[in-house]
Amino acid sequence: MSLVQIETKALTGRKYWRSLNELSGTPAFREWMVNEFPGGAELLDGASRRNVLKLMAASFGLAGLAACRRPEGKIVPLSRGVEDLIPGKSYYYNTVFTQGGSAVGLTVEAHDGRPTKIEGNRNHPQSLGASNGYAQASVLNIYDPDRSAEVLKGGQVSSWAEWDQFASQKFTAGSLGRGAGLRIVSESVVSPSLSEVRKSLLAKYPEAKWVEYEPFSNENAIAGTRLVFGQPLQAHYHYDKADVVLSLDADFLGIDSGSPLSTKKFSKKRRSAKPEDEINRLYVVESQFSVTGAMADHRIRSKASDIDSFASALARELGILSELNVLGSADKVQKILMALVRDLKKNAGKSVVIAGPRQSARVHALALMINQALGNIGTTVTFTQPLASPEAKAFADLVGELNAGSVDTLVVLGSNPVFTAPVSLKFSDALKRAKTVVHLGAEKDETAVLSSWHLPLASYLESWGDARSVDGTVSIQQPLILPLNNGRSALELTAQIAGYKDQKGYEIVRNYWTSQWPAAEQEARFRKALHDGVLAGTAFAEVKVSADPKRVALPAATAKSTQVEVVFVPSWSVYDGRYTNNAWLQEAPDPMTKLVWDNAALISKATADKLKVVDGQILKITVGGQSLEIAAMVQPGQADDSITIAAGFGRKQIGRVGQGTGFNAFEIRVSGDAIQFASDVSNTGKTYQLVTTQEFHSMTEPKLMDAIEPKTRPIVREATVEEYRHHPDFAPHMVHAPDDSIYGWFDYSEGNQWGMTIDLNSCIGCNACIIACQSENNVPVIGKEEVSYGRSMHWIRLDRYYTGDAEDPQAVIQPLSCQQCEAAPCESVCPVAATTHTPEGLNDMTYNRCVGTRYCANNCPYKVRRFNFLNYHKEMVDIEKMVSNPNVSVRMRGVMEKCTYCVQRIQEAKIKAKVEGRRGELLKDGDITTACQQVCAADAIVFGNINDPESRVSQEKKQPRNYALLAEVNTRPRTTYLAKLRNPNPELVEHHG
């Protein structure tokens, strides 16, 4: 094992792919592969993949219903054949994904016993079939060769047997007494079974304490409800019933939303089927440019610490606060505020005011009071009991106890507090004062190396459990594979500590639920819960509350600060650091900055000028005596004197993928607050290479063009709702498309004809489609250096354009994948006819025939073709290959690739239709869903048969705002766009002559 460790250390992030190759060939690696499957080591002949599959398949020996997994047991080898397991056919199981205290139901696709693709569960109220990037990418985590694979005792390789022996002495022989010295730290507990086990544990050790800790929590939101309603509550915002939405620093469409539901609901009200339709209006006040801000009709750029005054001013204008609150902002803000007040009043009962998790309890309380005053409570804003409420104070108390030396045993379940804890607490020093520290984690992370015992954690795809989503709905977490690294779940470890007789996750979960049901129904109900992915009737009842805003005792507003603020946000890529070793997420460009493999200190142009810093120069930011050197990046739309840093990067104890990526924001997150003030910010003069997939291009051409003829390229076509009503066909009429051919067009009127629409008005640019496509189509990861050369391989890219003022622009996002042109420029120029057209209108790639002249990519006006400049797949180690979709060829070096409209799914659906006796009939909506369409929470992507007039895609294409991008080049693309609409407040529209 030490051999592997030495090599792992020697590898840096940059050399990621080559290094894996070097590693995969070593004897140490093979040995380690065997160690990964200790339970079945005797079955393994080396690291032969077939044997691995055999072992896994054996665990499916009893698999009965396709969507219902039974507990594991090794009975029948795959070679003997297993009923219901058809080679090459995929299986789907429902399960649930938990992150940061929110749970989303999933349907996971498995091939030959390996989970390969994540989809949202249609039955789950927080998913409704959609999912997010984190959930999509989580499947890669279980095949991560750097994932923790063995029990470590004091850093030395140990075994579960040794641990079990230790645990039986420690936890059963009563050495802990009443548990006064026992402390457990976990992430938010949203699992009813785990809560139950926790209860038993605390009954056994009444003096023990269980602390839930999240670096990014909704604590302030819950404190806000306590201030207003006198009780902790979970607010639910019904954007689908709101005509006006005001976000006070809430990126509710993006990182602040734990589930796709808010996007689902918001986009419902944003959708426009015909010009007369009303759509909602979104006001956003925020410091960093978020995807929610990009959707805004009016966005106010404000320091995050000033949003309190904005909220107060708004409350005063609405007659909630009497105190005089000087907004002291520019006239523009005052003007928007007054218009906003009138708009909210007009839409009383049909509006939502939401405060973001970074804002104080006071701002949350103000937002709730405004909702109350507008009559939104009970209509667009409802409440249920809160699910879990990790409290920063409880964690701080724990550190106090550790420092006092009163903690004998500290158990850390599944989180990495050494990395994420506020620096002022000096948690890593405090940790050392406990006699025994037990860490259950997926990685040998910062906490693991300081622990006396490190135990490998089984992923949610490998272990039994359950989880409640924020609305209370319970889903059973159903594994799809045996723990690859022989890990255990938090549930199982807790049960062990609590002294459960049966410590198997399956038994605990099943017993917990079935014991609540009549004996006769137990089996059927449990099976149904597994099948549906949700447990019917478990949603929380609505808590009806009301408050008199006048009687709420608000804490005093904090004085405005002139200091530079630092705002800590979870990263789009790595969240709080748990995905730092996930290459898919690392390579997905940040939706707004387009930064890959790194984070940066985002600052406005004015702030950059003040600090005399340019992109890529390293700033030294000092907060509360702690300082961090981090590369600066100028972000249009960023508030002045405000620095935003995404957390989770810069981890030191990390696998090869995450090695050397980004800067650790937690180093200066002195307290648990998300907004802090920097005592000093200075330019060190050092530089760092930041890599983005896109520069700050706007659609307006460079200044020098203005001299000749100012032109805005008709790429993302946008109008206000008002303009749309007057000119419904503004979008297609922005250019003149010749639509003419000297040869005549091919006749596509027969059979299935595939087409797609992308509604730019719904798309929020969340990246989920990029990762879903990557997972479905085996799109390779290439690493930071290759991306810096401009060789990004994603089949969908999200083009981000700014419009308007350079300091305070609006942004639009346009997903772009192969447009499947009927008159495809790529096809005629290929000398070996490797890209050709099907009668169903698909622009096919024949990988085997491609010699890689790259002429097709040069001639593609959309530049959506991707070339394998190097062998991006060859270096994958065996375990990583297991994530691949067997229905999609893995492309070799020197070959061109691109979006296929998920042709494998089209073929599968056609075969299925044939089997069902629908031969010759047109395929209908629902037969085929492309990966990007399936994951899209905003339902912006619609794919289907354009020869079927009833299909959704045909309907969408009939909308007057439907347009073909670059129609003037006469490519006749099958993917068309629905123009973006904005709904500005008529009071704020400046009429140009």
Partner 1 sequence: MADFALNPEMVDKVTPRLVKGNSTYKSVTDDVSRIVETKTPREWWIAFSLSVAVALMMVGMLAYLVAFGIGTWGNNSPVGWAWDITNFVWWIGIGHAGTLISAILFLFRQKWRTSINRAAEAMTLFAVAAAAQYPLFHTGRPWRAIYWLFPVPNTDLNMWQNYRSPLEWDVFAVSTYGTVSLLFWYVGLIPDLATLRDRASGVRAYIYGIFSLGWRGAARHWRHYEMAYMILAGLSTPLVLSVHTIVSFDFAVSILPGWHTTIFPPYFVAGAIFSGFAMVITLMTVARWALKLEHLITIKHLENMCKVILATGMIVGYAYGTEFFIAWYSGNPYELFTFVNRAFGPYWWAYWSMISCNVLVPQIFWFKKCRTSVPIMFIASIFINIGMWFERFVIIATSLHRDYLPGSWGYFKPTMVDICTFIGTMGLFMTLFLLFIRFLPVIAISEVKGVLAQEDQVAKHGHGAHH
Backbone φ and ψ for 301, nearest 5 degrees, come out as -85, 120
Exactly one of 790, 920, 949, 993 binds partner 1 (CB under 8 A); that residue is: 790
Exactly one of 153, 209, 727, 791 binds partner 1 (CB under 8 A); that residue is: 791
- Establish if 85 lies at the interface with partner 1 (CB under 8 A): no
CA-to-CA dists, residue 502 to 151, 448, 475, 490, 759, angstroms: 21, 27, 22, 14, 52
Exactly one of 851, 914, 950, 987 binds partner 1 (CB under 8 A); that residue is: 851
- Closest CB 876 distance from partner 1, rounded Å: 16
- Establish if 394 lies at the interface with partner 1 (CB under 8 A): no
- Establish if 704 lies at the interface with partner 1 (CB under 8 A): yes
Considering only the stretches 271-279, 468-476, 638-646, 697-705, report the one whose residues sit in contact with partner 1 under the rule CB under 8 A: 697-705
Closest of 979, 982, 981, 983 to residue 731, by C-alpha: 979
Closest of 25, 29, 24, 6 to residue 149, by C-alpha: 29
Long-range contacts: 266-269, Cβ < 8 Å, 24+? 266/239, 266/240, 266/295, 266/938, 267/762, 267/764, 267/937, 267/938, 267/939, 267/940, 268/239, 268/240, 269/239, 269/240, 269/241, 269/242, 269/243
Residues 324-363 that bind partner 1 (CB under 8 A): none
- Establish if 10 lies at the interface with partner 1 (CB under 8 A): no
Exactly one of 803, 859, 889, 955 binds partner 1 (CB under 8 A); that residue is: 859
CA–CA separation, 106 and 97 (whole Å): 7
Residues 803-822 that bind partner 1 (CB under 8 A): 814, 816
Exactly one of 274, 893, 912, 958 binds partner 1 (CB under 8 A); that residue is: 893
- Establish if 789 lies at the interface with partner 1 (CB under 8 A): yes
Q: Would you say 160 or 696 has its CB closer to partner 1? A: 696
Considering only the stretches 237-245, 539-547, 651-659, 828-836, report the one whose residues sit in contact with partner 1 under the rule CB under 8 A: 828-836
List, edge to edge, every strand of the sheet that includes 601-603. 675-678, 564-570, 642-647, 601-603, 626-634, 617-623, 680-687
Residues 737-766 that bind partner 1 (CB under 8 A): none
- Closest CB 790 distance from partner 1, rounded Å: 4
Considering only the stretches 58-66, 381-389, 699-707, 741-749, report the one whose residues sit in contact with partner 1 under the rule CB under 8 A: 699-707
- Establish if 857 lies at the interface with partner 1 (CB under 8 A): yes
Q: How many residues bind partner 1 (CB under 8 A)?
A: 61
**Residues 769, 291, 352, CA angle at the centre, nearest 5°?**
115
Instruction: Identify whether the C-beta of residue 463 lies closer than 8 Å to the C-beta of residue 477.
Output: yes
- Establish if 734 lies at the interface with partner 1 (CB under 8 A): no
Fill in the per-residue mask, 229 to 258: x = in contact with partner 1 (CB under 8 A), - = not in contact: ------------------------------
- Establish if 616 lies at the interface with partner 1 (CB under 8 A): no
Amino acid letter, 774: Q
- Closest CB 709 distance from partner 1, rounded Å: 7
Q: Would you say 342 or 697 has its CB closer to partner 1? A: 697
Q: Would you say 335 or 697 has its CB closer to partner 1? A: 697
Amino acid letter, 67: A
Tokens of 817: 């994948």
CA–CA separation, 589 and 571 (whole Å): 11
Instruction: Identify whether the C-beta of residue 307 lies closer than 8 Å to the C-beta of residue 337.
Output: no
Considering only the stretches 336-344, 377-385, 474-482, 853-861, report the one whose residues sit in contact with partner 1 under the rule CB under 8 A: 853-861
CA-to-CA dists, residue 843 to 904, 905, 973, angstroms: 14, 15, 10
Fill in the per-residue mask, 943 to 982: x = in contact with partner 1 (CB under 8 A), - = not in contact: ----------------------xx--x-------------
- Closest CB 805 distance from partner 1, rounded Å: 18
Taking residue 324's Cβ as centre, other Cβ atoms within 10 Å add up to: 8
Amino acid letter, 841: G
Q: Would you say 77 or 825 has its CB closer to partner 1? A: 825
- Establish if 699 lies at the interface with partner 1 (CB under 8 A): yes
Amino acid letter, 540: F
Considering only the stretches 77-85, 550-558, 567-575, 888-896, report the one whose residues sit in contact with partner 1 under the rule CB under 8 A: 888-896
**Residues 693, 695, 697, CA angle at the centre, nearest 5°?**
130
- Establish if 425 lies at the interface with partner 1 (CB under 8 A): no
Residue 252 CA to its chain's centroid (Å)? 13
Considering only the stretches 350-358, 537-545, 562-570, 703-711, report the one whose residues sit in contact with partner 1 under the rule CB under 8 A: 703-711
- Establish if 698 lies at the interface with partner 1 (CB under 8 A): yes
- Establish if 708 lies at the interface with partner 1 (CB under 8 A): yes
Helix axes 768-776, 133-142, angle to 10 degrees: 40
Instruction: Identify whether the C-beta of residue 942 lies closer than 8 Å to the C-beta of residue 757.
Output: yes
CA–CA separation, 158 and 455 (whole Å): 10
Helix (H, G, I), strand (E, B) or coil at 983: coil
Tokens of 483: 């723990």
- Closest CB 582 distance from partner 1, rounded Å: 23
By DSSP bridging, strand 941-945 and strand 754-759 are antiparallel
Closest of 909, 928, 932, 934 to residue 919, by C-alpha: 909
- Positive/negative CA dihedral, 622, 627, 632, 637: negative
Q: Would you say 331 or 695 has its CB closer to partner 1? A: 695
Q: Would you say 504 or 733 has its CB closer to partner 1? A: 733
CA–CA separation, 570 and 859 (whole Å): 40
CA-to-CA dists, residue 7 to 20, 35, 693, angstroms: 10, 17, 31
Q: Would you say 65 or 832 has its CB closer to partner 1? A: 832
Q: Would you say 262 or 835 has its CB closer to partner 1? A: 835
Exactly one of 403, 853, 889, 962 binds partner 1 (CB under 8 A); that residue is: 853
- Establish if 35 lies at the interface with partner 1 (CB under 8 A): no
Exactly one of 378, 852, 960, 984 binds partner 1 (CB under 8 A); that residue is: 852
Exactly one of 232, 861, 960, 984 binds partner 1 (CB under 8 A); that residue is: 861
Considering only the stretches 402-410, 467-475, 609-617, 691-699, report the one whose residues sit in contact with partner 1 under the rule CB under 8 A: 691-699
By DSSP bridging, strand 754-759 and strand 298-301 are unpaired
Q: Would you say 709 or 990 has its CB closer to partner 1? A: 709
Instruction: Identify whether the C-beta of residue 971 lies closer than 8 Å to the C-beta of residue 861.
Output: yes
Tokens of 198: 């926790």
Considering only the stretches 683-691, 702-710, 908-916, 919-927, report the one whose residues sit in contact with partner 1 under the rule CB under 8 A: 702-710
Exactly one of 870, 888, 922, 988 binds partner 1 (CB under 8 A); that residue is: 870
Instruction: Determine if residue 972 is left, alpha or beta; phi over 0 gives left, psi from -120 to 50 gives alpha, anything else beta.
Output: left
- Establish if 889 lies at the interface with partner 1 (CB under 8 A): no
- Closest CB 966 distance from partner 1, rounded Å: 6
Q: Would you say 37 or 795 has its CB closer to partner 1? A: 795
Considering only the stretches 40-48, 150-158, 476-484, 704-712, report the one whose residues sit in contact with partner 1 under the rule CB under 8 A: 704-712
- Closest CB 803 distance from partner 1, rounded Å: 12
Exactly one of 42, 45, 331, 695 binds partner 1 (CB under 8 A); that residue is: 695
**E-assigned strand segments in 760-809:** 797-803
- Establish if 157 lies at the interface with partner 1 (CB under 8 A): no
Report the interface residues with partner 1, using CB under 8 A: 694-695, 697-699, 701-702, 704-705, 708-709, 711, 713, 715, 786, 789-792, 797, 799-801, 814, 816, 825, 828-833, 849-855, 857-859, 861-871, 892-896, 965-966, 969
